[in-house]
Structure 1
Amino acid sequence: MPAVTDADRLTSSPAGVIASSHPSCTEQISVHSLITNRPIKYPIFDANGLLLLAEGSVITTKFKELLRARDITQVRMHDDDVRAATLTEHSDSDKIPEVRFDPELTAKLDRIIESGNLFVANTGDALVEQMNRIGCRGYNRKERERVIGSHRKASAALDGCLQDALRGNPVDGKQLLNTTGQYLTATMSDADCVLSVVLEVGDDTRLSNHCLRMSVLAMAIGIEMGLDEQNTRTLGLCGLLHDWGMVKVPQAIRDAKRILSEGDFVAIKRHPIHTLELLEKVKDLPPIVPLVTYQVHERPDGNGYPRGRRMRETHLFARILGVADAYLALTSPRPYRGALMPYAAMECLITQASQRCFDPGVVKALLQIMSLFPIGSYVVLSNGTVARVLRRSGSEYGKPIVQIVAGPDGTKVPESDETATYDLSTSSDLHVVQALPTPGEHQLALSPELVTIKREPV
């Protein structure tokens, strides 16, 4: 009997009939994780044991669309098919069990903003031309391990600075500026490697780690937009400090397992003011830093906070940090929703930039440093192999440098295999056909509801 490839088989099973051949050795798998054009040996069932796709069939795009139309987000598959038709084998998923403003703090900043004196000028050479271009090669393992270790230490040190400020103790702004300098040096050497580290969500949920990740991503965007060293380091410093005021927002609101109510959001909208209060404890800050941290959550369409400023009234650094913040928020889980797939997060930002929710020039720079399929994400290629995105390809947004992690049959490819790295921008017969969730993570595809969400704890 020939293999069944008609995805309409989903709708042809007798309604309410539970298949007697429902295998006992099955796993529950997210529909987003299914790799299209992969054959299955065993049937696929829903959570109640109803047959969805017969044995010997092929997983097609139409099949997945029909599942989504029925609001089916999870299916059960035989263990053998899971290894061939998803990336589960290559993951450790089984081990991963109206706002009042303080006029004294804000009046001076508002006068600067209203004067229009927000121009950013370089005093040195743009860094973008000085960056080391690695090409079609993997990461240096020792260097990546060093970056991971340094990142952990920097996150702990930044958390200590935040705690000092909360206790009313002075904080050395020069020390914080040195932190951005260290990350800048590493980024100039291998930006893709550094981004691969800081973009991993990991288990460190401290505010300091979020601020550090945002700082590094913002500096990478700033470099791409032509900033010099001094401006890039100052931008990074703003990222380190921008959200400190969130610690003064009630924890019940920060950890809310729901979209925030209007009342809750009033408290969130006060956190830039709390940040300004804490920054009074930081010595030797460049004068522009408080203004930028005050504006990070403003939006070009005037729907941001705390003042509802439009793009021409918002500092470039704040617009950059706003995009970095949004990307990290979208790709991080919330108590009331899972993280978005990196590709879905990029889709969301592109859509919102077209609606003037974000600066289109900043989103374009993000695309240039991350690609449409962001660094660290997983994709299926046109030859059926699964790959991890390693590096950018500049303006070739949809053609990054990738490393094959699994063959068309699901066989794992060793990470040490140097022949498994490909630059899709130079390949005439190899391209991305599908974006996948990160192995072991419960990530979401883009939906209209996620694009229009306005109230989230950030």
Structure 2
Amino acid sequence: MRLVAVNQLQAGMRLGKKIYNDEGLILLADGVELTDSLIKRLFLMDIGYVYIEDSITDDIVIPEMLQDETRNQALKIIRKEFKQMSGASGITKGFYHLDKKFSKIMDSILGDLSTQEDPMIMLMDMHTADNYLYAHSLNVCLYTLVLGIAHGYSQEELHVIGMGALLHDIGKTQIPAKIVHKPGMLSDEEFRHMKAHTEIGYRILKDEPNIPLLAAHCALQHHERIDGSGYPRGLKGPEIHEYAKWLGVADSYDAMTSNRIYKKAMLPHQAVEALYVGSGTLYEQEQLELFRDRVIIYPMGLTVRLSNGESGVVVKIDPTTPHRPVVRVLTGPEGEKVAPFERDLGTALSIVIVDVDGSG
């Protein structure tokens, strides 16, 4: 299958992967034939890219980070608990107790990741921009755990940092919906309210019997930055817990690569470049380097243009060099169609990817 920008879809194409809303419900099933009205609907849902079936790339199987059952159960629990907390009185005073199901779903997520020999951060399932909070919480949890596994944390440590990542934005349940879902830039006053979600989240989690205290500190510190420019306390470098630093990278990456009410998603390579602008100032350089080595910046199925003029589709990723994939070349240097063949950028070191489909 192939990853195609929505603005390049044509009637008659068939979806290669399901499209979900951010509550885990299927909006469009795989195999659905696209019509002009469905393509327009995708535009209106602010979805930038979808996977489509394609005879030239029908052997490409897109790997999944989680089993369907685990993903759907996690989103169901997040949705239920967060909705129940929204607007609840007394919640930040410790009168509410989070369900133990969060701990159980963390065990399931870690179980799924443990079956993967070399888990990587990859583009997640396509979601609409509505109720972004639910899918974002799960994505950030997965990305943080992949980084934690690569860093060498123990299972106990992974459980704690995973819980912190899953619940890092829980404070947003107490922020007015008109601010959280505002389709434009926040005013200074609105941004002040939004920033309060870190401290609210900490107060919600710190006394919860089922939640590790370090998870509460993840909620408090995930917007702190090593140069002191973050919030809520303007902490610097070693003052920020290392879990929160990992979480800050994962949170920023998912925010950039997800569809939002007010902006289109970036492709992974664009988001990685944006993160590197903050290397040594916003984020620890060593953490960004490990992140770069664990993220698939050119997703399988993506159409790319090479420095020798050829174009093709990414068909295979080597976990040791994820930035140099195998490309199935479909057109030659002059744009002419050629008999498909595979070029391994891991060995063709003089050739690099210079552009991707839809990046402009």
Q: Indicate whether the TM-score tops 0.5.
A: yes
Other-structure match for 2:152: 226
1:436 aligns with 2:357: yes
Alignment of 1:213-252 (within 5 A): 213-252=139-178
1:96 aligns with 2:96: no
- Amino acid of the structure 1 residue aligned with 2:347: T
**Aligned partners of 1:323, 1:258: CA distance in 2, in Å?**
23
Other-structure match for 1:299: 225
1:289/1:186 Cα in 2 relative to 1: closer, same or farther (>3 Å)? same
1:366 aligns with 2:286: no
Other-structure match for 2:68: 148
1:342-386 Cα shifts (integer Å, max 9, x gaps): 2211110011215x1122222111110114435675422346232
The equivalent position to 1:311 in structure 2, one of 217, 226, 237, is 237
TM-fit CA distance, 1:236: 1.1
TM-fit CA distance, 1:155: 0.6
Alignment of 1:7-406 (within 5 A): 93=39, 96-97=42-43, 139=61, 144=64, 147-166=67-86, 167=88, 169-173=96-100, 175-190=101-116, 195-196=121-122, 199-203=124-128, 205-206=130-131, 207-279=133-205, 282-354=208-280, 356-373=281-298, 377-381=302-306, 382=308, 384-388=310-314, 390-394=316-320, 396=321, 398-401=323-326, 404=328
1:385/1:193 Cα in 2 relative to 1: closer, same or farther (>3 Å)? farther
TM-fit CA distance, 1:298: 0.3
**8 A Cα contact 2:137 2:167, kept in partner:** yes
3-state secondary structure, aligned to 2:184: coil
TM-fit CA distance, 1:148: 3.3
1:227/1:328 Cα in 2 relative to 1: closer, same or farther (>3 Å)? same
3-state secondary structure, aligned to 2:355: strand
1:315/1:400 Cα in 2 relative to 1: closer, same or farther (>3 Å)? farther
**Aligned partners of 1:305, 1:205: CA distance in 2, in Å?**
26
3-state secondary structure, aligned to 2:218: helix
1:304/1:259 Cα in 2 relative to 1: closer, same or farther (>3 Å)? same
TM-fit CA distance, 1:309: 0.3
1:282/1:378 Cα in 2 relative to 1: closer, same or farther (>3 Å)? farther
In structure 2, runs of 5+ residues without a counterpart are 16-33, 44-58
3-state secondary structure, aligned to 2:106: helix
1:164/1:327 Cα in 2 relative to 1: closer, same or farther (>3 Å)? same
**8 A Cα contact 2:303 2:356, kept in partner:** yes
1:186-223 Cα shifts (integer Å, max 9, x gaps): 223337787446x2341274322210110000111111
1:389/1:270 Cα in 2 relative to 1: closer, same or farther (>3 Å)? farther
**8 A Cα contact 1:208 1:240, kept in partner:** no
- State the TM-score, normalizing by the size of structure 2: 0.72
1:75-118 Cα shifts (integer Å, max 9, x gaps): xxxxxxx79xx9x9787645614xxxxxxxxxxxxxxxxxxxxx
1:366/1:421 Cα in 2 relative to 1: closer, same or farther (>3 Å)? farther
1:41-92 Cα shifts (integer Å, max 9, x gaps): xxxxxxxxxxxxxxxxxxxxxxxxxxxxxxxxx9xxxxxxx79xx9x97876
TM-fit CA distance, 1:272: 1.1
1:267-302 Cα shifts (integer Å, max 9, x gaps): 011111221233257432222211222111100110
**8 A Cα contact 1:378 1:389, kept in partner:** no
In structure 1, runs of 5+ residues without a counterpart are 1-32, 34-73, 75-81, 98-136, 414-418, 438-443, 446-458
**Aligned partners of 1:217, 1:324: CA distance in 2, in Å?**
6
TM-fit CA distance, 1:429: 6.7
Q: Report sequence identity in percent.
A: 22
1:140/1:350 Cα in 2 relative to 1: closer, same or farther (>3 Å)? closer
**8 A Cα contact 1:379 1:389, kept in partner:** no
1:225/1:374 Cα in 2 relative to 1: closer, same or farther (>3 Å)? farther
**Aligned partners of 1:412, 1:249: CA distance in 2, in Å?**
55
Other-structure match for 2:51: none
1:410/1:318 Cα in 2 relative to 1: closer, same or farther (>3 Å)? farther
- Amino acid of the structure 2 residue aligned with 1:373: Y
**Aligned partners of 2:269, 2:282: CA distance in 1, in Å?**
19
**Aligned partners of 2:134, 2:117: CA distance in 1, in Å?**
21
Other-structure match for 1:132: none
**Aligned partners of 1:410, 1:282: CA distance in 2, in Å?**
62
1:412/1:315 Cα in 2 relative to 1: closer, same or farther (>3 Å)? farther
3-state secondary structure, aligned to 1:185: helix
**8 A Cα contact 1:245 1:278, kept in partner:** yes
- Amino acid of the structure 1 residue aligned with 2:272: M
3-state secondary structure, aligned to 2:105: helix
**Aligned partners of 1:317, 1:145: CA distance in 2, in Å?**
21
Other-structure match for 1:63: none
Farther off after superposition, 362-371 or 374-383: 374-383
**8 A Cα contact 1:138 1:421, kept in partner:** no
